[in-house]
Amino acid sequence: MQKKYSWYSLLKAGLSNQEWDKAIPLSKPKSKYDVIIIGGGGHGLATAYYLAKECGITNVAVVEKGYIGGGNTGRNTTIIRSNYLRDEASSLYEHSMRLWEGLSEDLNFNVMFSQRGVYNLGHTLQDMRDIERRVNANVLNGVDAVVVDHKEIKEQIPIINTSKNVRYPIMGASFQARAGVARHDGVAWGFARAASNLGVDIIQNCEVIDIEIEEGRVKGVKTTQGDILADQIGCVSAGHSSVIAKMAGLRLPVESHPLQAFVSEAMKPILHTVVMSNAVHGYVSQSDKGDLVIGAGIDGYNSYAQRGSAKIVEHCAAAILELFPIFSRVRMNRQWGGIVDVCPDACPVISPTKVEGLYFNCGWGTGGFKATPGSGNVFAHTIAQDKQHELAVPFHVDRFTTGALIDEHGAAGVAH
Amino acid sequence: MRIANHKSSLIDYSKPLSFIFNNKSYKGYQGDSLASALIANNVLYFARSFKYGRKRGLMGAGVEEPNALVSLEIGGRYTPNMKATEVMLYDGLSAVSSSNPNSFDFRAMIKPVHRFMPAGFYYKTFIKQKVWSLVEDSLRSLSGFSKAPSEVDEDVYDHVFQHTEILIVGGGVAGITAALEVLNHSKSARVILVDERENLGGELINEFSTDESSFAWHKDNVKKLLKFKNEENSRLKILTSATAYAWYDHNYIEVLQTNATGQSTLSEGVQSARKALHKIRAGEVILATGAHERPMLFETNDLANIMLSQSVRRYLEEFGVISGKKVILYGNNDSIYSTAIDLNNNSINCKVIDARAPGGESEIVLKAKDSGIDVLQGYAVKKAKGTSSITGIEISKVELQSKPPHWQSKWRLNKDTQTLECDLLATSGGFNPVVHLDCHCGGKTYFDEYSQSFLPQKERKNRKVCGAVNSVGFWKDAIVDAKNKAQQTLESMGEVKKASIQPLSKECLNYYKVDRFFTPIEILNKPKVFIDMQNDVTTLDVALAIREGYQSIEHIKRYTAMGFGTDQGKTGNINGIAVAAEFLDVPMSEVGTTTFRPAYTGVDFGAMAGREVGDFFDPQRYTTIHDSHVESGAEFEVVGQWYRPWFYPKHGEDMHQAVNRECRAVRKSLGMMDASTLGKIDVQGKDAREFLSRVYTNAWMKLAPGSCRYGLMCNEKGMIIDDGVSTCINDNHFIMTTTTGGAASVYSTLEMWLQTEWSDLDVHLNSVTDQFSTVAVVGPNARKLMEILCQDVDFNKDSFKFMQWRPGTVCGVNARIMRISFSGELAYEINVEANYGRFIWDQVAIAGRPWNITPYGTESMHVLRAEKGFIIVGQDTDGSMTPMDVNMNWILAKDKPFSYIGRRSFSISALNTNDRLQLVGLLTKDDQVVMPEGAHIISNKGVSIGYVTSSYYSPALGRSIALAQLKGGLSKMTETVLVKIVQEKQGLKEIPCEVSSSVFYDINGEKVDGNE
Amino acid sequence: MFLIDCPYCKESRDQNEFSPAGEAFIARPQNPEALSDEEWADYVFYRTNHKGDHWEQWVHTAGCRKYFLVKRSTISHEIIQVSTFGEIDSENAS
């Protein structure tokens, strides 16, 4: 058992120069596991953690081709919210939200979940209709949400530009108070530490190069660290899901696109909440360190390179200045991209496949971080029971055949 | 202090400048940086560090500076987080430390607690969510550098698009040479030369006082460059004060240039840009980006007046200032001797501590010794002494371990220490080539044992490296290297047949030679050995991260925050990698670097956005009739990029009153509407009918010329994406109308089908939205008005029927008149060439006065169409509704030979269940209650079973009406459902409604022919 | 930011002028009604999403408005080949 993190342990370590345990033990693969999780991002590590904690399956390995949390987990803008439109989606994200609310304690690792609220701005009449529809749906589903007008927005965020004389004036917003942000790396590390504490092996620098299938059932994986046998395999490899699927002879309804984000240089606190606007294409919050964390849009082309186009980022900067003109002389410090796997209906796939014992958790698109604990939780149960978790049922990959899509794009265009 | 009688070539001593720093006035000169001017004024402390609030002085002289962060000016020109080293002085400049070193600081006060705050301590505490939410804001208030701006920027920014055959990044000796070599040997190649400093020359300027030939070379070659630049049809652009900060795919490089004054200037009413963002597409790139020096590591190495050796030299040579009187130079390579010689020449007391053992000295070492400089070889600095600034150092003799552990340093320190006094310590631990730009877009680095640094990969397509970034440090060799690379570039372009290549000198190989990274473990295990000054990351933080299992360099970076600062770890990161290698007991090459990401240096958001802010953020589309709407006092609604009249309030009417008036006018007499924003696509070719049949759900083969037809468009998922009326001009010519917001996407989708799938169809499309203006004349008196306006068309209801069109002349203007209706009333849409739009609008308004013709906007249009149950795609549908869901099975052709777009999906199972959301009408039991759009219909269990898509008060019916999506709604006619209002402020909780047909008014369609 | 050779305009132009238009060689089935639901779903939703050299469609939106084919590495973003429809189809594409 690892030492528990607390004030007491910090104090003791500080006084005695005592060493901390390894938070992330560096494991070498065993020859066989009950379950192998491909992908050591937040979702994969969470899956392993909940397999061990809630399903009693501890003979689990997480295999990661690079370092844990090195993909989209460490590249996103860390927004957490559950105010989704469709019942199926909001149930899943709300499940996640509830796990977030106890996550630091559960993991004994401060993931710095900060419920500073999220505003989704509306700039047109149709935006406001959509916001009303979504907020009403949220409330009926037990998700906290309110509609606020531009005056209330100005009161809460004095630096935002609510002038009527701009290209897309802010008409109002939905606000979810329980929403917020978290420390992205900490989420991966917290899950990894807690999972390994329960006996999970976390194997880094271990790339899966093939999936072994015998008579329609998974047998194991070939990796850069050798062959590993497994009864069940859960694939949680985000942008690389299609690559893994191909190894198993499968196709997926996802495409990989670059998604970019950037941060400013750190400043004293000025923005205390999270502001998102689909209409002008940008979202922004300020981290505890002081930098503005800004998310841009995706590029339309497919890519496995973790970089996108300058125009996307520059348009996003312009969008942020529409909302916050005072940020004009603030400087971008760093910019980066991730690879997101996007489903046609903007909802994930949490599903068994035609190959027995092989499961996929993918297609989270631009919104996966907020779902990390919930996704891992329902996926763990799906693997453990070999039956979809109740909340995962609507996210079966077969929905693309039956037509039972969960279209989160919702009213995408105003068209009269 | 400023050195008396120093003849700096860059300072203009005839131009004194005044400035203010932390509320005190100082003097400097033209040519000073803020940092050099403050050194001249003996200012030692510039700011405080991020985590521990330690007082810090300058470490560097350029963009590598981690400590000296200040904000500039106030109000609309307030700029946070500037490095004092990157700010060129101007008269009246006002700067404030990002965190005042001279005032009370909470972080510094809690110094005894610092030992309990190692890297990542916050992950281990405040674990309870409630506790964290209580303390987080207090922790937040401690972080960040400068305050954020509070006012809108007064300045503007430009984007400049540049194209060049060759881009040379770096205007030092290598960059200048490469530029001239290209220009001399090619007759056509264009060159852009970029440098971040104000003057070309880079580090060569530091050589001027000791090596006269360097001065002559610089003068001569800059002159040659200027000659090329000033030629007619010049092929050379020189961008100074310009930083290449990002490299994107296909040699697309972004350069941020600050103008001479650092602000916008107004000249003849035109505001020039504060900064210009050059977007450069280069055929070939030659990188001559140089190298940053890295410091040596020892205990309390962050005291003020511990600087980089080259920076001390630059302050001395370029600016004629120095921040100490008793200087010690310390390092593991020859470069410290250059600084020592310069100091000595300026009669500044200095001493050299060389970590390398005696023996095998190069020329410059001997030269330094000869000139009488005190040199101590084979000693290392263990610790800097002093409270906030340096007063001395402790040194020990270096001993070789006979059997060093495999990868760890072979050095050990003797236990005996000596103390030396000094007030300035200048160190050099070697050089980090500036590989950042090269790595933004896929370039890799490799570890070079000789220089103990990461160099850019040797070969890369369309890119060469030369000079210090290529580890060629000595300036004369940099010239050779640059010529060689320019030649190779020209060869690859076919500009020269064979590149002429000269060998590098022998001294060259010595210049960047650095002994194995000097990091004896005794030092690394001490507290307060800072790697990243800005974020207060120490060697022990790295050790802790590694012990805890954060062993990838990316994990170390993220766990300790090393390199996350505004300096992006330019001086610290390579040391951090070396320290990690030491603790991990692996070679540095195995540790590797973190990923280099744009921006190399900070880029103002304003510069990123350029002019695309405010009015230019997004195009604003107006119809040609727009001015009339403005004159009429219309309120506007933004639809896509269009501004459409929303309603036309009169005499203090609110929207409700205006809409009631407008609707009544249309139903009772006559209204007019600007319908020009609807998308219009001209469809021509002999297969036009077939094409329409494929993209619309209904039949088109028999639509006669002179007729119009409504069509519904689906995507392959079977979902409605657009609707509109198409007009048959003749058998080979149709005009399709689309929704306003959907026009662009429909047009490109149609083109895609034609070009990628149906290239055998003879069909040509053209977007003609902007080419036509459309004035809709609507109401029972419409025919009477049309008969006045247009004499050459027979408007008799039996000869010009509903859903027909006629060519005609309206007020002398050629027009296509469509008899179509979105309100159920008799209506004509007059389409004219766009430029006649306003004219026709005015003529209609004048001629319509007898019937009190009333212009109406989108809101009334919505009410009128809702009364008739006409859907608005995007409002009543949301991308997940099939034609069956909106009760439009009638529009699905059964017998078209071609399986039109979307048809196949209609048969999949989920599109045929009973509980799909279906479009119905809702009538509130209390007929005066207008439900909010977006309110949900709930089941008796309180679960959502649908929602209100459109809801209005209908003046014609004297009651409210609503459209809604309701699960299985089409089989629930006349049932009572509850609409739940969840927003408390709207008072009502649940509103009972009756499910009805979505057609509320004129159910039998009797109004469409209007009054006789 | 790609530099794309438009095979119609015969010029290299900035990516800003173009729009990506999805994976290439996804032919609309000749007889959709004859397909099983799985086959239809494969056409509508499933993609190869290839990692490596990948044929895709682009359209010269702010230029000639023509759709054309691009073979591009989804790893390095290097454009290997451009082609008009007709020059290349799923049969002879490599």
pLDDT in tens, B629-639: 999 999 999 99
**CB pair distance less than 8 Å for B909 and C37:** yes
CB-CB: which of B118, B861, B944 is closest to A137? B944
Cα separation, A379 vs A382, whole angstroms: 5
**Contact at CB, C3 and B751, closer than 8 angstroms:** no
Closest CA–CA distance from residue B162 to any residue of chain C (Å): 12
Beta carbons within 8 Å of B131's beta carbon, 6+ residues apart? none
Give the pLDDT band of residue A2 (cuts 50, 70, 90): low
Q: Tell me which chain A residues have a C-beta less than 8 angstroms from the C-beta of C51.
A: 240, 242-243, 256, 304
Mean pLDDT of B303-314: 97
What mean pLDDT comes out for the span B321-346?
A: 95
User: CA–CA distance from B10 to each of B32, B35, B127, B208, B298 (Å)?
Assistant: 8, 15, 56, 11, 34
Please tell me if residue C31 touches chain B, with a CB cutoff of 8 Å. yes
CB atoms within 10 A of CB B128: 14
Q: Determine contact: C90 vs chain B, CB below 8 A.
A: no
Q: Which residues of B touch A314 (CB under 8 A)?
A: 608-610, 612
Residue pair A148/A122 in contact by the 8 Å Cβ criterion: no
Identify the pLDDT of residue B988: 61
- Contact of B760 with chain C, judged by CB distance below 8 Å, is answered with no
DSSP class of residue B204 equals G
Q: Which amino acid is at C81?
A: Q
CB contacts, 8 Å: A403 with chain B:
717-718, 905, 908-911
The CATH architecture annotation of domain B296-428 reads 3-Layer(bba) Sandwich (3.50)
What is B527-591's CATH topology?
A: Arc Repressor Mutant, subunit A (1.10.10)
pLDDT in tens, B894-917: 989 999 999 999 999 999 999 999
CATH of B679-856, one of 2.170.120.12, 3.40.140.10, 3.40.50.10860, 3.30.1360.120: 3.30.1360.120
| H or E stretch at B203 | none
**Chain centre to alpha carbon of residue B200:** 29
pLDDT value at position B399? Answer: 86
Residue C58 Cα, gap to closest chain B Cα (Å): 10
Inspect the interface and report whether the beta carbons of B637 and A124 lie closer than 8 Å: yes
Neighbours of chain C (3+ CB pairs under 8 A): A, B
Contacts of A273 in chain B (CB under 8 A): none
Q: Do domains B527-591 and B864-893+914-1008 have the same CATH topology?
A: no
- Torsion angle of C-alpha atoms B568, B570, B573, B575, degrees rounded to 10: -160
How do residues A262-271 score in pLDDT, each as one tens digit? 999 999 999 9
Given a cut of 80, whether residue B697 has pLDDT beyond it is yes
Question: In the prediction, which pLDDT does A381 show?
Answer: 98
At A7, the pLDDT band (50, 70, 90 cuts) reads confident
Q: What is the pLDDT of residue B516?
A: 67
Average pLDDT of the segment spanning B476-498: 96
Backbone angle region of B44, left / alpha / beta, with phi > 0 → left and psi within -120 to 50 → alpha:
alpha
Segment A330-353 shows an average pLDDT of 96
Q: Read off the pLDDT band of B65 (50, 70, 90).
A: very high
What pTM did the predictor assign?
Answer: 0.96
Q: Which fold has domain B155-264+272-293+431-515?
A: FAD/NAD(P)-binding domain (3.50.50)
Provide the residue ranges of all domains of chain B, joining segments of one domain with +.
Answer: 1-151, 155-264+272-293+431-515, 296-428, 527-591, 679-856, 864-893+914-1008
Q: Tell if the CB–CB gap between B133 and A131 is shorter than 8 Å.
A: no
Interface pTM (ipTM) of the complex? 0.97
Question: How far is the C-alpha of B310 from the C-alpha of B74, rounded, in Å?
Answer: 33
User: Which of A20, A288, A404 comes nearest B140 by C-beta?
Assistant: A288
- Phi and psi torsions of B260, nearest 5°: -60, -40
| Whole-Å CA distances, C33 to A45, B713, B751 | 44, 19, 24
Q: At A414, is the pLDDT very low, low, confident or very high (cuts 50, 70, 90)?
A: very low
Degrees to nearest 5, angle at CA A242 with A238 and A246? 140
Which chain B residues are Cβ-neighbours of C3 within 8 angstroms?
250-252, 281
| Residue of A329, A406, A408 to mutate when probing chain B, most B C-beta within 10 A | A329
H or E, element range at A122: strand A118-122
| Contact between chains at C56 and A299 (C-beta distance less than 8 A) | no
Which residues partner with B168 through β-bridges?
B193, B286
- Comparing C-alpha atoms, which of B327, B376, B318 is closest to residue B347? B327
Say whether residue C21 is in contact with chain B using an 8 A CB cutoff.
yes
Radius of gyration (C-alpha) of chain B in whole angstroms: 38
Nearest CA in chain B to C69: B756
Query: How many Å apart are CA A275 and CA A179, to the nearest integer?
Result: 11
| Helix, strand or coil, per DSSP, at residue B1007 | helix
| pLDDT greater than 50 at residue B840 | yes
Instruction: Identify residue B724 by its one-letter amino acid code.
Output: G
Residue B751: which of C31, C40, C65 has the nearest Cβ? C65
Q: Given 3-state DSSP classes, what are the helix, strand and coil percentages for chain B, each rounded to the nearest 5?
A: 30, 30, 40
pLDDT band, residue A413 (cuts 50/70/90): very low
Mutate to test the interface with B, among C3, C5, C12, C69 (most CBs of B within 10 A): C3
CB contact under 8 A, B751 and C31: no
pLDDT digits (tens, 9 = 90+) for B571-596: 999 999 999 999 998 999 999 999 99
- The predicted-structure confidence for B420-455, as pLDDT tens digits, reads as follows 999 999 999 999 999 999 999 989 999 998 888 999
Neighbour tally for B246: CB within 10 Å: 25
3-state secondary structure of C9: coil
Given a cut of 80, whether residue B513 has pLDDT beyond it is no
- Buried b vs exposed e over B666-685: b needs ≥16 C-beta within 10 Å? bbbbbbbbbbbbbbbbbbbb
Architecture of domain B864-893+914-1008: Beta Barrel (2.40)
pLDDT at A363 over 60: yes
The sign one gets for the Cα dihedral A244, A248, A251, A253 is: negative
Please tell me the distance from the alpha carbon of residue B685 to that of residue B61, in angstroms, as a whole number. Answer: 69
Chains touching A by CB (3 or more pairs below 8 Å): B, C
Q: How far is A305 from chain C (nearest CA, A)?
A: 5
For the B1-151 domain, the top CATH level (class) is alpha beta
Tokens of B180: 């001239």
Residue B790, classified by CB atoms within 10 Å of its CB into exposed (0-12), middle (13-18) or buried (19+), is buried
- C46 to chain B, any CB pair closer than 8 A? The answer is no
- Number of Cβ within 10 Å of residue B302's Cβ equals 25
Beta carbons of B726 and B735 less than 8 angstroms apart: yes
The shortest C-alpha distance from C49 to chain B (Å) reads 19
* B-C contacts at Cβ under 8 angstroms: 56
User: Which one is predicted more confidently, B761 or B942?
Assistant: B761
Residues in chain A with CB shorter than 8 Å from the CB of C37 are 401-402
**What DSSP letter does each residue of A398-410 carry, written as one string?**
THHHH-----TT-
The distance of A286 to chain B (nearest Cα, Å) reads 10
Q: What is the pLDDT of residue B510?
A: 64
Asked if the model's pLDDT at residue A338 lies above 70, the reply is yes
- Tell me how far CA of residue B296 lies from CA of A219, B300, B417, B567, B978, in angstroms: 53, 11, 18, 18, 75
Q: pLDDT value at position B407?
A: 67
Backbone φ and ψ for B536, nearest 5 degrees, come out as 55, 45
Coil/strand/helix, residue C27: coil
pLDDT tens digit string along A288-316? 999 999 999 999 999 999 999 999 999 99
Q: Which residues of B touch C84 (CB under 8 A)?
A: none
Domains of chain C are: 13-27+34-84 (3.30.2270.10)
